[in-house]
Structure 1
Amino acid sequence: MRATVFTKTLRDNRRSLIGWTAGTTLAAAMYASFYPQMATGGAESVQNFPEAMREAFHLDDLTSAAGYLQSSVFGLILPLLALFYGAATGARATAGDEESGTLDLLLAHPVTRTRLILQRFGALTAGACGIAAAVWIAMLGIRESADLTSISPLEFLAQCLNLALLAVAFGALAMGIGAATGRRALVFAATAGIGILTYAAHTFAGRLGAEWAAYFSPFHYYIGGEPLKHGIQWGDAGVLAAASAALVVAGTYRFNHRDLNA
C-alpha cells in the first residue's frame, strides 16, 4: 500500500474526527462560558442539592473557575465525550474490518497484524490529541471573556493533556477487546459499560467508604490530581499512558494468536 495504515486511517476517518473535534470543542466552550453566571448566583442554588450529591460531584467550589470547570466541563461533559470517542474509534480499529469482511483483504497487503494495530492505535492517539488541542485553544480563546484568568494556560494544557490520555486509554481498551473478539457492537458496549462503572467508582467510592476503588478508575488519574489547580501531574499521566500501552500490547498478542476465520 502506498499510504501507511496510519495516514489512511486518518484520511478515512477525517469526517468523524472533524465532527468529534467540533462537537467536543463547542461543548467545552459553551459550558465554560457559563462560569460568570454560576459564580454570581449558582452557589446559592447548589445549596439546595443533597449533601451527598454536592460532595460526589464537587459542587461546593463552583465560585472558583477551577472548581466550576472541574465539576462540570472537565469533570463530567468532556470525560464522557472522551470515553465515547475512544470506544467508538477503538471498536472500528480491527473489529469493524473483521465484521465487514475486509480484514482479510487488508492483511493480504504487506502489512502485519502488529503493524495494523499499532498504526491504527497511532491514528486514534493523533485524533485524541487533536481534539484535546482544539479544546485547549478554545479555552484560551474564551479565557478572558469568561473570567477564567485564574487558570493559567499551562494548567489548561495539563487538563487537556489528561483529556487526550483518557480518550486514548478507553480507545486502547476498545482495541484490545476488539482484537480478542472481533465483534464491534460488543466492543462498544463493553467499553462504554466499563467506562460508566469506573466513572461511578471515581465519583461515589468515597461516599461508600471504598476509597481504594477509585484507584482502579482511569477518571481518578484523569482529574483526581486537579490539573486545573496544580498543573501537570506526571504520575497520573504516566499511569494512563502505561495502562494504554499494556492494553494495546495485550490486544496485539491476542490478535496475532487468534484464528480470524473461526
Structure 2
Amino acid sequence: MFETARYEWERRFRGTVVIAVGMTILTGFFVWYFSVLDTESLQRMATSLPPAMLEAFGIETIATIEGFLAVEVYNFLWVLGLGLYFAYTAGGLIAGDIERNRMDLLASFPVSRSRLLFDKYGSLLPPIVVFNVAVGLVVYGSVAAIGESIDPIHLLLVHALSIPYLLACAAIGTVFTVLLDRADTAKRGAVGLVFALFLLDSVTANAERLGWVGNLSPTQYYDPSEILVDGTYALTDSGVLLTITVVLLLSSQTIFKRRDI
C-alpha cells in the first residue's frame, strides 16, 4: 500500500531538504535581525501604513518578537509563500504525467485512478510536516539565543494549524491538475487562484458589505498573527479548511475518473 505516495515522496525528498534548510536559514536571519532593530521606530512606521496593507500582512505589532515573526515569517513566508508552493506543486501531480505520456503506463497498473490521485496528493503531507518541524525548532531555539522568549504553545499551534491551510492550498492545485493536460498551465492556474484569493481576503476585510466575500479564501481561516501574538484561535476554522480540502479532493476524484486521458 501507498507505493505511489512513497515513490513520489522519495522523488521530492532532496528538494524538500533544500527548501527546509533555506527556510530555516532565512528564519534564523529574521530572528537575528529583530535583535538589532529599533523596534519602536519600526512600530511607528508600521502603524502609518494603509489599513489594507496592515490587514494583508496581518500586522498587529512588530515591536515584539511574536509580532515581528508573525509578519516576516508566518504571514509572508508561510501563508503566501508556502501556500503558493503547495498549490504549484499539486498542479503538476497528474498533469505532469499526462504531458510526459506517463499516465497511460500508470493507468495500466492494478491501481484505481482514485487511489493514484490520493497517493500523489498524500505525498505532499511529509514536506508539510518537515517544513513545520524544522522551522518551528529553529524559531524556538534562535529566539532563546538572542535572549527573547516565545510561548511554546502558541508556536506549536501556529505550526499545527497551518497544516489544514496548506492541505487546502494543495487541494486547489489538485483540482487544476486533473482538469488540464499541461503541467505549466495547471501550476500557473493554481498559483493564480490562491494568490487571487489571498488578495480577495485582504481587500474585503475592512469592507462591511463585502466582508463575506473573504470567506471564500483559505486565508480567512488561518491567521498566524492572532495565534502567535494574541494566543487566540478557533478549531472550527481548521475544520472549515479540512472540509474544503475534502470537497476539493472528492471533486478532483470525480473529474479524474470521468476524463479521457
Letter paired with 1:18: V
Q: Tell me the equivalent position of 1:181.
A: 180
Alignment of 1:192-211 (within 5 A): 192-209=191-208, 210-211=210-211
Letter paired with 1:102: R
8 Å CA contact retained: 2:92, 2:187: no
Matched, 1:143 2:143: yes
Count of residue correspondences: 258
Counterparts of 1:112 and 1:84, CA distance in 2: 29
Counterparts of 1:130 and 1:43, CA distance in 2: 32
8 Å CA contact retained: 1:172, 1:248: yes
1:184-208 per-residue CA deviation (whole Å, 9 max, x = no partner) reads 1221111111111111122221334
Deviates more, 1:131-140 or 1:220-229: 220-229
Letter paired with 2:186: V
Q: Tell me the equivalent position of 1:10.
A: 9
Question: RMSD of aligned C-alpha atoms?
Answer: 2.3
Q: Tell me the equivalent position of 2:69.
A: 69
Q: Runs of 5+ in structure 2 lacking a partner?
A: none
8 Å CA contact retained: 1:86, 1:167: yes
Matched, 1:99 2:104: no
Q: Tell me the equivalent position of 1:239.
A: 240
CA displacement at 1:102 relative to structure 2: 0.6
1:89-134 per-residue CA deviation (whole Å, 9 max, x = no partner) reads 2022111111110111122122111111111111112221211111
Letter paired with 2:195: I
CA displacement at 1:47 relative to structure 2: 4.9
CA displacement at 1:147 relative to structure 2: 5.1
Q: Runs of 5+ in structure 1 lacking a partner?
A: none
Deviates more, 1:97-106 or 1:80-89: 80-89
Q: 1:183 to 1:90 in 2, by over 3 A?
A: same
Letter paired with 2:87: A
Q: Tell me the equivalent position of 2:190.
A: 191
CA displacement at 1:27 relative to structure 2: 2.6
8 Å CA contact retained: 1:158, 1:233: no
Letter paired with 2:64: S
Question: Secondary structure of the equivalent of 2:106?
Answer: helix
8 Å CA contact retained: 2:52, 2:203: no
TM-score, normalised on structure 1?
0.88
1:139-163 per-residue CA deviation (whole Å, 9 max, x = no partner) reads 11112134551x3112111111233
Question: Secondary structure of the equivalent of 1:92?
Answer: coil
CA displacement at 1:72 relative to structure 2: 2.6
Q: Tell me the equivalent position of 2:129.
A: 129
Question: Secondary structure of the equivalent of 1:63?
Answer: coil
CA displacement at 1:84 relative to structure 2: 2.5
Q: Tell me the equivalent position of 1:118.
A: 118
Deviates more, 1:28-37 or 1:193-202: 28-37
Question: Secondary structure of the equivalent of 1:24?
Answer: helix
Q: 1:45 to 1:147 in 2, by over 3 A?
A: farther
CA displacement at 1:44 relative to structure 2: 3.2
1:196-230 per-residue CA deviation (whole Å, 9 max, x = no partner) reads 11111222213344222222111111117822132
> What's the % identity of the aligned pairs?
21
Q: Tell me the equivalent position of 2:82.
A: 82
8 Å CA contact retained: 2:71, 2:225: no
8 Å CA contact retained: 2:197, 2:218: yes
Counterparts of 2:46 and 2:167, CA distance in 1: 33
8 Å CA contact retained: 1:24, 1:81: no
